[in-house]
Amino acid sequence: MNASAGAPASAAALRRRVTPGPVAVILKGYPRLSETFIAQELLGLQRRGLDFRIVALRHPTDRSMHPVHEAITAPVSYLPEYLYQEPLRVLRGWWSVRRLPGYGSALATWWRDLLRDPTPNRIRRFGQACVLAAELDPAVGHLYAHFLHTPSSVARYAALITGRSWSASAHAKDIWTTPDWEKREKLADVAWAVTCTAVGCEHLAALAPDRERVDLLYHGLDLADFPTPQPRPARDGSRADAPVIIVSIGRAVVKKGYDDLLAALAALPSDLHWRFVHIGGGALKDTLRNQARRLGIGDRITWRGAQPRAAVLAALADADLFVLASKIAGDGDRDGLPNVLMEAQASGLATVATRVSAIPELIDDGATGVLVPPQDPMALAAALSELASDPSRRAALGSAGRDRVRTAFGHDAGLNRLAARFGLTAGAGLADVA
């Protein structure tokens, strides 16, 4: 892949060199309550001195934001969410870039992609890329996309048009639902890529032209948000006036397995007193509420919807047990390593989860939490029942899980490595952070 000594580098090789200067971060939507991990990364890079602008493909839909979003000072701009909504802007963008040297290469690449993926979404990506390429600050030298599907397509086409370098951070759905041909071609074109799970890294490295192009970089947590937890009440579910509080945080979508979790809750012993709290938005909220009513457990469940970070942390502090019943959806979509599991463990909560994707990279079954097979409500019910009635076991697992997160999943090491990818010195700027 490297040019021989003295030979001119190819256009592809030039694009793989990260161009100095400010960075444009391409996101699917911003800000999003469900993507705290991205916001924490951006704030960490900001504190390390990275000069960046945020470009989002969609406007926010959440009614509130986390404090971490408010701390990010980078300017934010939005591309046309749908091309028909801003036709003149799209036309101006295309007219501005059509004669750039890289336009022909970008158009040919997009056309090959469209023949294999003849969808409106593919057309929209190229229109957004033209607007991005036309409106991007000339000082920006590099594009960095979160998610390997739509945002990376827009970044790739825009990088081709303008001759800039680009890179990507891959996560979960984007890895497992993007066709192999598309992942292979994008990985051949990026300067570098990072991903947040070992299983995802292995999969992408096998598709890349060289394995070194893809790096494992756990998101980790800002552990300053998680002081030593207070001792929890020794609730064991034996009293109706002191039910065990079980909490789960996640979007109401298929891969989160909430239908399996509700079936498991309905199968808990009749003499076990419990309450379940769910935090998160998602398209299946009404379906799940109806399922809970049919199962006869609707009155034991509180559906709080999407919540700001302070409310999330408060819910974790109040709970006795955390559960996430992740599974692989029919289209291949699945979790990577859900940040909520790390947050629950950092809060000292005993956790029950499923053996899906990278979750076993975090939870050592029986030592730092409990793992059960996915799509097995009876196994999930047995694990919940056992821990709900045993506060001492919960405390031991919670403490061990917290130690595991603090020793292996703090975010500073990963952020320093990511900052180095952008040419920043590890720790630069951190001395000025209060």
Q: Where are the domains of the chain?
A: 11-219+411-432, 225-408
User: What would the two tokens of residue 184 be?
Assistant: 């292979």
pLDDT-derived band at 73 (thresholds 50, 70, 90) equals very high
Residue 124 pLDDT > 50: yes
Sorted by sequence, the CB contacts under 8 Å of residue 243 that are 6+ apart come out as 235, 237, 273, 274, 275, 300
Cβ density class 390-426: b for 16+ within 10 Å, e for less: bbeebbebbebbbebbeeebbbeebbbebbebbebee
Helices (H) and strands (E) in the chain, counts: 18, 13
- The DSSP annotation for 339-355 comes to HHHHHHHHTT-EEEEE-
The predicted model gives 198-211 an average pLDDT of 94
Residue with tokens 């161009």: 19
Query: Which fold would CATH assign to domain 225-408?
Result: Rossmann fold (3.40.50)
pLDDT of residue 20: 64
Q: Is 14 left (phi over 0), alpha (psi -120 to 50) or beta?
A: alpha
| Spatial distance between the Cα atoms of 174 and 39, rounded to a whole number of angstroms | 18
Under 8 Å between Cβ of 207 and 230: no
pLDDT-derived band at 17 (thresholds 50, 70, 90) equals low
Phi, psi of 181 (to 5 degrees): -60, -40
pLDDT of residue 426: 55
| Spatial distance between the Cα atoms of 325 and 320, rounded to a whole number of angstroms | 17
pLDDT of residue 431: 39
Q: Count of residues for the chain?
A: 434
Is residue 329 exposed (0-12), middle (13-18) or buried (19+ Cβ within 10 Å)?
A: middle
| Spatial distance between the Cα atoms of 64 and 44, rounded to a whole number of angstroms | 21
| Spatial distance between the Cα atoms of 128 and 121, rounded to a whole number of angstroms | 10
| Spatial distance between the Cα atoms of 109 and 127, rounded to a whole number of angstroms | 14
User: What would the two tokens of residue 343 be?
Assistant: 């947050």
Provide the strand spans (E) within 48-200: 52-58, 76-78, 142-146, 165-170, 193-195
| Spatial distance between the Cα atoms of 36 and 341, rounded to a whole number of angstroms | 13
Phi, psi of 354 (to 5 degrees): -110, 160
Sorted by sequence, the CB contacts under 8 Å of residue 66 that are 6+ apart come out as 31, 33, 36, 39, 308, 309
pLDDT of residue 34: 80
CATH 3.40.50.2000 for the 11-219+411-432 domain, yes or no: yes
User: What would the two tokens of residue 205 be?
Assistant: 């490295």
**Around Cβ 142, how many Cβ atoms within 10 Å?**
24
| Spatial distance between the Cα atoms of 83 and 94, rounded to a whole number of angstroms | 12
User: Greater confidence, 46 or 426?
Assistant: 46
- Which tens digits make up the pLDDT trace of 360-381? 999 999 999 999 999 999 999 9
Percent of the chain with pLDDT over 70: 93
- Which tens digits make up the pLDDT trace of 134-151? 999 999 999 999 999 999
User: What would the two tokens of residue 225 be?
Assistant: 């948000």
Under 8 Å between Cβ of 301 and 278: yes
| Spatial distance between the Cα atoms of 211 and 188, rounded to a whole number of angstroms | 11
Phi, psi of 142 (to 5 degrees): -145, 145
Same fold, 11-219+411-432 and 225-408: yes
- Which tens digits make up the pLDDT trace of 80-114? 999 999 999 999 999 999 999 999 999 999 999 99
The predicted model gives 20-39 an average pLDDT of 90
Residue 15 pLDDT > 70: no
Looking at residue 267, its amino acid is A
Sign of CA dihedral 232, 233, 238, 241: negative
The predicted model gives 53-78 an average pLDDT of 91
Sign of CA dihedral 108, 110, 116, 118: negative
pLDDT of residue 19: 63
Model pTM score: 0.79
pLDDT of residue 18: 65
Among candidate residues 96, 98, 120, the one with its CA nearest the CA of residue 107: 98
| Spatial distance between the Cα atoms of 113 and 182, rounded to a whole number of angstroms | 8
Enumerate the H helices of 16-119 as residue ranges: 36-47, 67-71, 87-97, 103-116
Among candidate residues 407, 401, 290, the one with its CA nearest the CA of residue 345: 401
Among candidate residues 340, 334, 341, the one with its CA nearest the CA of residue 364: 341
